[in-house]
Amino acid sequence: MADADLFALESAALANARAAHDDPRADARAALADMIVHYERLMRESRRLIRRSDRAELDMNQMNRQLHELAKELEYRATHDPLSGALNRAAVIDTASACLQHSDMALIVLDIDHFKWINDDFGHPAGDAVIKTVVSCLRTLLGADAAVGRVGGEEFSVIWPTSDLEEARSVALRICDAIADQVFDAPIDRQITASVGVSWNPQGTSFELAYSRADEALYAAKRAGRNCVKTYAQLPLPVTPPPASSDASTPCH
């Protein structure tokens, strides 16, 4: 119905031309002229519609590209720390958990030493700049694709897939040295160091266990005087108290 209305004039011109074609006495030239007018109009309309649909396709492609960019931007914001560009805590957990599912992995955690003093002495913006510089120092050292995360205020993590504890320790030592050697922009006029803890974890370890071991090693490094590396495997085993003796003759000290 809609089509018949839309092409009513063309249908009439076509019927006219057919009738002229079938009837040798009819005015064929007039019918042909009428057909030409309608045919040209149809061509003009078709070109206009094609141009319009090309424009719509371009607009749609552009909107698709914008949506794609927006999705990437949202994904980036959901997984990265806005200050330093390092992975955020949630992304560190996801990345490390995924890594531990299919390989052995070292988790290296580091914490800037006496960071509170940096804020107190040079101001919070200078402290922020130190955080950014530490992340770019880690990236320069480990490569742009290394999984470097900021898990807390001035605490960072590095996910390092390896089956070799010694390799993990050597990466941690290089990190500790690189931060101690880093020259920070003014107004920071002193050496900044970090304490580093490492846990080496076989495939299948949970993130929580890997992290708590690395954290324990980190605090051992703080206790040992800072600016050093401790591995969980090096830590002394927890002292278990001897079983209570039932021998009453044992002397008490």
Active site residues: 154
Q: Is 222 in the site for ligand GTP (CB under 6 A)?
A: yes
Please work out the total of residues on this chain that contact ligand GTP, with binding judged by CB under 6 A.
16
Nearer to ligand GTP, 137 or 165 (CB): 137
DSSP lists the bridge partners of residue 87 as: 80, 149
Range 39-68, binding ligand GTP (CB under 6 A)? none
41, 116, 190, 223: residue in contact with ligand GTP (rule CB under 6 A): 116
128, 164, 166, 167: residue in contact with ligand GTP (rule CB under 6 A): 128
The crossing angle, in degrees rounded to 10, of helices 8-22 and 28-79 is 150
Q: Are 203 and 170 in contact (CB under 8 A)?
A: no
146, 153, 204, 234: residue in contact with ligand GTP (rule CB under 6 A): 153
Q: How far is the CB of 192 from ligand GTP (least distance, A)?
A: 10
Q: Is 115 in the site for ligand GTP (CB under 6 A)?
A: yes
Residues that bind ligand GTP (CB under 6 A): 83, 111-116, 119, 124, 127-128, 131, 153-154, 222, 226
